[in-house]
Structure 1
């Protein structure tokens, strides 16, 4: 019996906790739990800095789950902390993706889905309708006999949807004539700070107690949201973006060796509220990061096994073909500059005098910290990561 691998592809950023139980709030709450588990696994397997998007993973894997059955589906729902009811889950993600798509000069949040069936591959109409109507997915048949052309077609679409910040997501060597379906999701974000930083300067970043390196820091003293937290033994700094209700939060442990403790409880860390508002003296690294992650071994540790084997039941996608998931790559890009966070070229440095405002709070991130970008209306986390060196 021929087993046709299914290649699952991710583009890039989510999660949050809400009290009410509408479909939107349910998927955001479940996404928060998934994001916490995902961050913990990545922290144990990834060396150095990393950035990822739990939202991007959740979106495309939720679509996959709608085509799974039996134990395969049960493992996906349990391992990903998905909302169990298909209708509630798809309605929730439909509302979430609709609310996230913003495309203005100051703020861009663009999510896109696409399925690439092989030419002649019999995709179930019910699955195709779910993809198009509930996940706003495009559909394009592709010839996997020519793996170079197929990979190029998918990578070109990913590049277009991410302002060319994500390149070569699909390795043509991962495709073969037996590949029957690719599911792709991208999430692109670009935002300008409500209050740009005053200037940048060079200082020492302490990766460990004994290791440090000279890097560029962004410096400013201005109105921002902050909170010292005894529960997590950390300082929180929240910076808003123009043009929408989106912010970036930096979480700095009080102890220079306290990062692991924060990462082990990431879900609780990302739900902190409320914040204080005041004049904050801020010093954070200016950085650019791109991370490529193979999520298959990560998900296996989270209890998802069957979908990667010949015993996978994805008959909701095709009742005439035996499918299994072959790979789940995710590539994510982030750049933090004086003017904002964007997937774009670096901004020139302009030095201005330091502020004479007396700060209410000081936030100096010169040792390892966490960060996440959140849509505050829903509480969905778009991107998250850590900076350690």
Structure 2
């Protein structure tokens, strides 16, 4: 795993995406916190540590998970179905049609995977149906662990000629210092998610909120500093309040396999959804080697990142398509990926940065998808006292694409080869210009994991 102390030495990134999801859980009036020692109510007392403490399961993380190929494939397809349904719901209810929208299916499922480990009965069933956790508890957590460890292997220190690849995922369980939690639940989090436990004092909600937001900011290189908005943490008292928060953060910084030259970027028009035009900084590659497909009117370019294990898939839908609002169903996405062929493309892509002003509060979206019971309780496999429910889900994503990574310098090197014929410069077989709204998907090619997905309707103005 690459530490954050390496980031300051890296060249500016071409792709700077990150995301996180948090599940805030509350406790109602019928379930006051209980001290495990004597069974007395303790949420309103002055006992316990004066400052946050750390705790950890004694079970080590399983570093050699071995799910079957069939299990990995079922979870991959499930992620695509979940992503399609959630994107459509959020697009219809949470953002305006002309706004950019970026989500992280992987980040959301990681946070929900930890929550689902404590679910029972209707809560467990509804969460599994919406999140497409179709394998049952143990196999699902094993697959999540396998994918997370596989993504950790994408990190690469680089060298003088190649900037590093940094892909970091972190999980943490913030819980009130004397609220009872089952050891078996903490063991699942430790073994499959590498999650540590942070004991906090939720009797004072605002300091706890600031503490969680600071941890998130640290893990995302300050790209997301206000995941939990004001009033999202309710002061814990004998009448109820916030008792725990589950958080996943994801941070990626990686260079293109072939960088966009700075000198080729120039102002160009971009047509917005309402038909008006704006000027954007349009990057250019004259004959870049990429994956290309034209499937049912969708023109697709798959841009590999360095080492080729991660790629950014850019999808230009037909003008009359509703895909910007609904995303692509799993069958469409499979057809597009199956249709990709490696060729040379003359590519025009706007430089853009998407940084939402606030988190998405997704409670209503998940309820609309059929997840209702979790907001009323059903987490008895985590909290022995019962009464714990999901209060809300906050999700925020930052995503940026540019041609950075080229440091200005001049030198001449004449390389004389022996025993080969110099090849002619490649000629582009296709020309693709992303000068109107398009979809994007950043995925891990080996596991198929959807790290980031969304639409770009308003690139950063030139």
Specify the TM-score bucket, using the shorter chain as the normaliser.
0.7 to 0.9
| 8 Å CA contact retained: 1:169, 1:329 | yes
Aligned-residue RMSD, C-alpha: 2.3
Residue in structure 1 matched with residue 140 of structure 2 by the alignment: 89
Q: Does 1:373 align with 2:442?
A: yes
Query: Is residue 25 from structure 1 mapped to residue 70 from structure 2 by the alignment?
Result: no
User: 1-side partners of 2:401 and 2:178: how far apart?
Assistant: 45
Per-residue deviation, residues 39-97 of structure 1 (Å, max 9, x unmatched):
22222232210111011111111111111111111111111111241111011001011
CA distance in 1: counterparts of 2:126 and 2:69, whole angstroms: 23
The residue aligned with 2:242 is: 179
Which residue, 78, 87, 93 being the options, matches 1:39? 87
CA deviation map 1:177-229 (0-9, x unaligned):
12111000011111100111122111111013631111111111233224343
Matching residue within 171, 189, 194 for 2:252: 189
Give the aligned partner of residue 301 of structure 1. 368
Query: Which residue is equivalent to 2:165?
Result: 107
Structure-2-length-normalised TM-score = 0.74
Matched residue SS, 1:140: strand
Task: Report the counterpart of residue 386 of structure 1 in structure 2.
Answer: 455
1:144 aligns to what SS in structure 2? coil
Residue 404 of structure 2 is matched in structure 1 by 339
SS of structure 2 residue aligned to 1:223:
strand
1:273 is paired with a residue whose SS is helix
Q: Which has the larger radius of gyration?
A: 2
Contact 2:75 2:132 in 1 (8 A): no
**Structure 1 residues 259 and 218, CA gap change in structure 2 (3 angstroms):** farther
Q: Provide structure 1 residue ranges, at least 5 long, that are not aligned to the other structure.
A: 6-19, 341-346, 351-355
Partner of 1:75: 126
Please tell me whether residue 246 in structure 1 is matched to residue 313 in structure 2.
no
Moved over 6 A (4+): 347-350
**Cα deviation digits, residues 120-169 of structure 1 (max 9, x gap):** 01011111110111111011100112222211211121112111111111
Match of 1:151 in 2: 209
Residue pair 2:288, 2:428 contacting (<8 A) in 1 also: no
Deviation, 1:277, is: 1.7
Distance 1:81 1:75 in 2: 10
Could you tell me which residue of structure 1 aligns to residue 323 of structure 2? 260
Aligned to 2:29: 2
Provide the rounded CA distance (Å) in 2 between the counterparts of 1:69 and 1:100.
30
Per-residue deviation, 1:357: 5.5
Deviates further, 113-122 or 318-327 = 318-327
1:261-340, aligned counterparts within 5 Å? 263-271=326-334, 272-291=337-356, 292-309=359-376, 312-339=377-404
Aligned to 1:208: 273
The answer (yes or no) to whether the contact 1:23–1:91 under 8 Å persists in 2 is: no
| CA–CA distance in structure 1, aligned partners of residues 330 and 396 of structure 2 | 22
How has the CA–CA distance of structure 1 residues 4 and 256 changed in structure 2, closer, same or farther, with 3 Å as cutoff?
Answer: farther
> Is 2:298–2:316's contact at 8 Å kept on the other side of the alignment?
yes
Q: Report the equivalent of 2:431.
A: 362
Is contact 2:287–2:427 with CA below 8 Å preserved after alignment?
A: no
C-alpha spacing 1:49/1:132, structure 2 compared with 1 (3 Å): same
Deviation of 1:326 after TM superposition, in Å, equals: 0.6
3-state DSSP of counterpart to 2:265? strand
Residues 277-317 of structure 1, C-alpha deviations (whole Å, 9 max, x = no match): 222111111000023311111111111111112xx211111
**2:29 is paired with a residue of what secondary structure?**
coil
Given the alignment of the two structures, is residue 139 of structure 1 paired with residue 197 of structure 2, yes or no?
yes
C-alpha distance in 2 between matches for 1:59 and 1:190: 20
**Separation (CA, whole Å) in 2 of partners of 1:228 and 1:26:** 25
Q: Whole-Å Cα distance in 2 between the matches of residues 270 and 110 of structure 1?
A: 26
Count of paired positions: 361
Question: Which position in structure 2 is the counterpart of 1:225?
Answer: 290
Q: State the distance in 2 between where 1:180 and 1:189 align.
A: 30
Query: Residue 61 of structure 2 aligns with which residue?
Result: none
Judge conservation of contact 1:293–1:329 (CA < 8 Å) in 2.
yes
The equivalent residue for 2:116 is 65
